[in-house]
């Protein structure tokens, strides 16, 4: 029996440890990731076990962290860098967009950048601005990057290993308000990862309406589906897992079955993932749809002070309101 009950944070830690044991070229970099183990303790104990040459405390300089990681990746390493909070990634934006995403195409396929950029994201922890943002769409919009997000401890454990093993650069988004939630994780290497890195999963099967979601909103949507079940409504919840590329086969199969679709994410809805998903679903599933695709997200304003964040973030009531609108159409 190799299953253990882990938090999402411990799942990431165990996955990183496994990746470092498998490949001596895997190095971790970031602000306070060494002796402290990171603000959220995701890398706790790794510097003690693997040394200061493989778990590197960096200056407070995100552009320099990612720039150094680019050089390491070009020299055959597999760097995993931590951006301490979502809103701190912008100083590295130029490195990611102008260099990381383009290197493979620029070199006509001769160069690869096996680089992982970990980004704790989303709200719900009572933090100030720059600590609660959902900026995944900026990077999903950029060709040449993989953008993925885990939603539970099992995916945290397996997806971080898959991201490190990928020869493509990966933006790895971690739902920070789910870090301490626990579940059974199967650690058996022989069994392997339950799903490929770029696959969506049916988190809950249903017949009446499809909910497309990811990251911190998966649990909220599953709770909403449970509440809806009590009213006789059967919701199918799809955890996207990969935002770029999208697993459109799983998405379209579900929507064609249910005929209705609601997209839920924390990010503001204007030009966010929900806009792209709605466009693709309405184009590919037009003759199966019984109602317009609806979106539930953060409001189109800067992230508010922490005392207002529960009003900003989608909750059960807002999700179920949209579900009712779609079902009544």
Residues 183, 153: contact at Cβ < 8 Å?
yes
Is 141 designated active site?
A: no
- CB of 216 closer than 8 Å to CB of 175: yes
Q: Distance (Å, rounded) from C-alpha 235 to C-alpha 296?
A: 15
Rounded to whole angstroms, the Cα distance separating 79 from 71 reads 10
End-to-end CA distance of the chain: 49
Beta carbons of 314 and 266 less than 8 angstroms apart: yes
Cα separation, 134 vs 53, in Å, equals: 32
Q: How far apart are CA 169 and CA 89, in angstroms?
A: 15
Q: What is the SS3 assignment for 263?
A: strand
One of 131, 141, 180, 265 is an active-site residue; which one?
131
C-alpha pair distances (Å), 22 with each of 9, 16, 329: 20, 10, 53
- Active-site positions read 131
């Amino acid at each position: 029996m190799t299953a253990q009950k882990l938090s999402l944070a411990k799942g990431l830690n165990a996955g990183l440890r496994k990746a470092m044991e498998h490949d001596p070229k895997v190095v971790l970099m970031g602000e306070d990731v060494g002796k402290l183990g990171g603000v959220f303790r995701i890398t706790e104990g790794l510097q003690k076990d693997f040394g200061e040459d493989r778990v590197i405390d960096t200056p407070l300089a995100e552009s320099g962290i990612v720039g150094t990681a680019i050089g390491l990746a070009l020299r055959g390493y597999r760097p995993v860098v931590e951006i301490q909070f979502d809103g701190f990634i912008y100083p590295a934006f130029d490195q990611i967009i102008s260099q990381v995403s383009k290197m493979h195409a620029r070199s006509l396929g001769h160069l690869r950048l096996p680089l992982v950029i970990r980004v704790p994201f989303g709200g719900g922890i009572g933090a100030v601005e720059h600590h609660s943002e959902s900026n995944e769409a900026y990077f999903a919009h950029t060709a040449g990057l993989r953008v993925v997000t885990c939603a539970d401890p099992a995916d945290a454990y397996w997806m971080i290993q898959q991201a490190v093993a990928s020869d493509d650069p990966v933006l790895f988004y971690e739902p920070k308000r789910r870090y301490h939630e626990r579940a059974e994780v199967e650690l058996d290497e022989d069994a392997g990862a339950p799903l490929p890195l770029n696959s969506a999963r049916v988190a809950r099967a249903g017949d009446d309406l499809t909910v497309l979601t990811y990251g911190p909103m998966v649990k909220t949507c599953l709770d909403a589906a449970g509440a809806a079940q009590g009213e006789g409504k059967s919701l199918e919840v799809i955890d996207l897992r990969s935002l770029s590329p999208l697993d459109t086969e799983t998405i379209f199969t579900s929507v064609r079955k249910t005929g209705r679709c609601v997209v839920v994410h924390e990010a503001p809805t204007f030009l966010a993932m929900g806009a792209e998903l709605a466009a693709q679903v309405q184009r590919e599933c037009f003759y199966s749809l019984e109602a317009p695709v609806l979106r539930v997200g953060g409001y189109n304003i800067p992230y508010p002070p922490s005392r207002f964040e529960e009003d900003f973030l989608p909750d059960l009531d807002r999700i179920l309101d949209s579900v009712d609108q779609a079902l009544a159409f």
